[in-house]
Structures are given as structure tokens and as C-alpha cells.
Amino acid sequence: MEQVSTNNNNQSEGLAQGEDEIPLKLKLKRAERMRKYRAMALIAPLFLFILGVFAIPIAIMMWRAIDNPEVVDNLPQTAIELSNWDGESTPTTALTTAFASDLVKAYEDKTASTVAKRLNYDVSGMRSLVTRTARKFNSTQPAMATMDDFIKADKRWADLRYWQALKRASSSLTPFYVLNAFDMKINDEGQITSVPEGQAIYTNIFWRTMWIAGVVTVGSLLIGFPIAYLLANTSSKVSNLLMFCVLLPFWTSLLVRTSAWVVLLQKNGVVNSTLINLGLINEPMTLLFARPGVYIAFLHLLVPFVVLPLYSVMTSISPAYMRAAESLGAHPAIAFVRVYLPQTLPGIGAGGILAFILAIGYYITPALIGGPQDQMLSYFIANHANSTLNWGLASALGMVLLVTTMILFSIYNRLTGASGVKMG
């Protein structure tokens, strides 16, 4: 690209000598136009594909983290009346009447359960409260409902916090899920506070995710660096064979590899029995459904991702640098630390960031090999997306991962410049 632009500059300088009336910039633009269109046409299929199946779905999922349609869509009258309510006084008859009629309508449309489920996220027990009330009002069909009618239907309605929860859920956008992902909530007074100790889980899991990803990143760098060094500094015959071994895991499906580890890491599995037979341990170690197994399987997955960028950086480092350093009086170890290592930093950065980003997002490995204490954010995202169907929270947790990744990447980019990431 640089080459091309330099040529263009030269051309335009040359043309500047001539007495043309069309500005040079314009002429250059015209001359380049066809090429630009061709480049765009070549990019277009991939761009549209990514936009359609990647960017837009992600944007939609992110939107779900703050989208809050349940109450607004299904209890429209109530939502309007709730916005007029101050949240502290006894709910007015206008509000209770609107709520009652909306509930009846929602019950007939079979959407009451959706509302109930949404409200239950905020205050547990509210699912039964709402569905029960809706059923009762459906049978009595009151033309006008007062606070007393609600208390008669279920005496919990006397407690204002259910109404407050209803009010909190009645805006079309909500910070509820995002706050939830950080173990925070809006309390009955409308302030942002931490959730009680017993309910706080996601911050813990976030830091657990970071810790596991950090450990395996450092581990795979420690394992990958010598391999990459050997690959870059050996005869092509040996390096081809080694490279084949490094790439071998890529040829097997992730699920198969992980399942294989399940077999190998069992109490009576190959790893344990080998170690016992070698006399290194007496009792079989708990590897499966525990942290060590997660680390082992992760390292196996991530080492190739570290080796490849490191290898590509190392092959570009001329052996003359080490020789020069040694001839200048540096002990080989000092030469390595002061001359070789700094030049591999772009590779260490690229490999490390790649491994870390992959690790914080991996789902299958901890899900199959880890115990309950080893589950990472992705497990909870999957759980909320597939089992509890709390898509808002799943999206908010996903957003946490995405933002973390982006922050890490921008830090890395700032440190190494955009040219830092090179693959292959």
C-alpha cells in the first residue's frame, strides 16, 4: 500500500509541472476510482457476510442487554400510569385499575407469564404473585380495581416494593441486566447498590475467568516460547515435522479433543495410572472436574495459537543479532535477554493476547472438564441463554466479555502499534 501511494505522489508531482486546469487531487481521484471500486467489489462478499451473520447479530444481542419490552408492550396502560406514580405514595386507583385491566388482557393473550418472569428477575416470588393475581382478576373481571382489590387477590400487594419493582421494570430501556452482571442493582430507593453478599456471583466469576485465562496464557507462553524458538532455529526438515505436531490439534475437533481429555484425566485414567506406575504419586490426583484438568486442557488448546505468532516473529530475527551481541562481549544468556527477547515482544504480545482472548471466551473446555468452581463467564452466558432463558442477563454478561476483550486489545494495540499482530 505504501509503495502505491508513494508512486502516486511522484506522479502527481510530475504532473504539477504541466499546465492543466483540473486540480491534481481530482485527477488522481479519477485515476484511482476504478481501482477503488474494484477493491470494494472484492471485499463486498466478505463484508456483507460478516455484517449479516456476525456484526448485526452481535449488535442485536447487545441491544438485548438494555432492552426491556415486557412490561411496556404487555401492560401498556399500566406503564403510562406507573410513570405518573412517585413510587412512595399508595398507588392511585387509576394505576390499579389500569394494571388490573392490562393483567386481564395479558392473561387472555397468554403474555402474563412473560411479564411475571421478567418481574421475578428483580424480586423473587413475583412470578407467582403476578400470575395468581392475573388469574383471579380474569375470573372476577372487575371494571374498576382499587388497592383493596389487589390486597384481596394477594395480600403481598400491600407491600410497596412489589409496586416499585413494577415501576422499575416499566421503562423501555433498563440498566437492570448490566448492573446485574456486575452484581449491582437499583434498590427500592432508586439508588445503585451492591446486591447482598450471598447473591453476588458474577464479579467473582469475572475475576475467576480472568485468573484462569491469565494462568493459561502465561503457561502457554512458557511452553510455546521454546518450541517456537526451536522451530525458528532448526533445519527445515526438523521444523517441518515440529510444525506438523504443533498444528495437529487444529485438525481434530475441539469437542473430540476435550472429550479425550475427559478420558485421559479420569481418576483411573492414563495420566494418573502413568504417574502412579512411575512412582511419582501414590494416590490418583483429582484432575477431572477440577482446576488442574481445566488448565491442562486449556494449555493443550492454546499452545498452537501462541507458537504461530511467536514463530513468525522469531523467523524474522536474524541469527546475526545474537552473534553480534556475543562478539561484543555478552554472555549468551545476557545476549538472549537483552537482544533476542526484546525483539520477540511483538510475538509474545500477539500470542498472549490471542490466547487470553480465546481463553476468556472458551465454553466447552471448562464446561466438560471443570467442576462447579471452574466455570467461566461463558458457561453462565450459555446457561442464561439456553436454560433460564434470561436473555437480557446473558447479553449483559456477553457485553462484559466483549468490552473486556476490546479494552485488552486496545491496550495491546497502544503498546505495540497496529503492526504488532501478525499471523503465520
Residue numbers at the binding site for another protein (CB under 8 A): 318, 320-321, 323-332, 334-335, 338-339, 342-343, 345
- Report d(CA 288, CA 277) in Å as an integer: 19
Nearer of residues 233 and 343 to another protein, judged by Cβ: 343
Distance CA(329)–CA(44), nearest Å, equals 56
Measure the CA dihedral 234/238/239/242, to 10°. Answer: -130
Size of the chain, expressed as the number of residues it contains: 424
Q: Which is nearer to another protein, 95 or 348 (CB)?
A: 348
Shortest gap between Cβ of 346 and another protein (angstroms)? 10
Angstrom distance (rounded) from CA 317 to CA 1: 24
Closest CB to another protein among residues 69, 332: 332
Half-sphere exposure of residue 258, counting CA atoms within 13 Å on the CB side?
Answer: 17
* Pairwise CA distance, residues 75 & 31, whole Å: 60
Q: How far is the CB of 348 from another protein (least distance, A)?
A: 13
Q: Which is nearer to another protein, 331 or 422 (CB)?
A: 331
Cβ-based nearer residue to another protein, 66 or 345: 345
Q: Is the Cβ of residue 35 or residue 414 nearer to another protein in the bound state?
A: 414
Q: How far is the CB of 340 from another protein (least distance, A)?
A: 10
Measured from the CB atom, the residue of 330 and 402 that comes closer to another protein is 330
Kindly tell me the sign of the dihedral angle through the C-alpha atoms of 135, 141, 142, 145: positive
For another protein, which is the closer residue by CB, 84 or 419?
A: 419
CB of 2 to another protein, least distance (A): 15
User: Among residues 45 and 329, whose Cβ is nearest to another protein?
Assistant: 329
CB of 232 to another protein, least distance (A): 17
Distance from C-alpha of 100 to C-alpha of 417, rounded to nearest angstrom: 61
Q: Which of 101, 105, 104, 128 is nearest to 116 (CA)?
A: 128
Q: How many CB atoms lie within 10 A of CB 300?
A: 18
Q: Which residues contact 111 (CB under 8 A, 6 or more apart)?
A: 73, 74
Q: How far is the CB of 408 from another protein (least distance, A)?
A: 23
The nearest distance, CB 165 to another protein, in angstroms, is: 59
| The C-alpha cell that represents 32 in the structure block | 484511482
In whole angstroms, the minimum distance from the beta carbon of 417 to another protein comes to 13
**Cβ atoms 128, 165 nearer than 8 A:** no
The DSSP code for 184 is E
Q: At what angle do helices 160-168 and 126-140 cross, to 10 degrees?
A: 100
Return the ∠ at Cα 406 (arms to 292 and 217), rounded to 5°: 25
Q: Which is nearer to another protein, 309 or 370 (CB)?
A: 309
What's the closest the beta carbon of residue 316 comes to another protein, in angstroms? 10
Instruction: Report how far residue 264's alpha carbon sits from residue 272's, in angstroms, rounded to the nearest whole number.
Output: 8
Cβ proximity of 167 and 191 under 8 Å: no
Compute the least distance from the CB of residue 238 to another protein, in Å: 16
Amino acid at position 264, single letter: L
